[in-house]
Amino acid sequence: MAVLVVYASKHGATREIAERVAQTMAAAGHRAQACPVTAAGNLTGYDAFVVGSAVYMGHWQKEATEFVRRNRAVLAGHPVWLFSSGPLGTEPTDAQGRDLTVAAEPKELAELTEAIHPRGHRVFFGALDPGRLGLGERAIRKLPAARAIMPEGDFRDWAQIEAWARSIAADPTLGTQGASGSAQEADGHHDARR
């Protein structure tokens, strides 16, 4: 199956997650590639999609949300999985005892779910390199409330990310969909890559 993994990443952590998802799916036998949402272009010819974004101040990156809105007709007609890259640190819960992967769900998730009915959404821990932050981000990080939840470091769990990608690669909807469910036929186009 041809799988497009699209992502919105401000400082690179989410891009690397998307690339690992694509590599893992390719190793499992699919034609998978990762590209930024801003460079995705025509979605014709893909059988399934993975869409991921970094979470900032509780929101997906605007271009990722807009990508889904703009392409909702195509996405709603194909298997889609979403992921978010957000929480930082080594603790699974915040000071109030909330699961960080739940607390980090972007505010757009309900809208996106309603629009395209994804097969799933996963929150992965992210990474923060202070040297890459802009002035505004540095200022936010200095606030007392932010300090505890924005530690420096790389908290991405590659084994978990790869396991998720393998579970998508093995999803029966990809394995059994066949040519009749592919985007190019739905759109009436021939795909030269096949």
What's the min distance (Å) between Cβ of 85 and ligand FMN? Answer: 4
Q: Is 54 in the site for ligand FMN (CB under 6 A)?
A: yes
Continuous segment of H or E residues that includes residue 146: helix 144-147
Q: Is 86 in the site for ligand FMN (CB under 6 A)?
A: yes
Please state, in angstroms and rounded to a whole number, the distance separating the CA atoms of residues 73 and 80: 12
- 86: exposed, middle or buried (Cβ count in 10 Å: 0-12, 13-18, 19+): buried
Q: Is 9 in the site for ligand FMN (CB under 6 A)?
A: yes
Characterize the bridge pairing of strands 48-56 and 2-8: parallel
Task: Identify the residue whose tokens are 């199956």.
Answer: 1
Q: Is 150 in the site for ligand FMN (CB under 6 A)?
A: yes
Tokens representing residue 78 in the block: 């194909």
Q: Which of 177, 115, 127, 193 is nearest to 157 (CA)?
A: 127
Q: Is 82 in the site for ligand FMN (CB under 6 A)?
A: no
Q: Is 128 in the site for ligand FMN (CB under 6 A)?
A: yes
Q: Is 65 in the site for ligand FMN (CB under 6 A)?
A: no
Near ligand FMN by CB under 6 A, which window of 3-11, 43-51, 108-116, 179-187?
3-11
Q: Is 34 in the site for ligand FMN (CB under 6 A)?
A: no
- Residue 163, amino acid: A
Total number of residues that touch ligand FMN (CB under 6 A): 25
Please state, in angstroms and rounded to a whole number, the distance separating the CA atoms of residues 147 and 79: 38
Q: Is 13 in the site for ligand FMN (CB under 6 A)?
A: yes
What's the min distance (Å) between Cβ of 13 and ligand FMN? Answer: 3
What's the min distance (Å) between Cβ of 144 and ligand FMN? Answer: 14
Residue 47 and residue 20 in contact, taking contact as beta carbons nearer than 8 Å: no
* Site of interaction with ligand FMN (CB under 6 A): 9-15, 54-58, 85-88, 104, 126-128, 133, 137, 140-141, 150
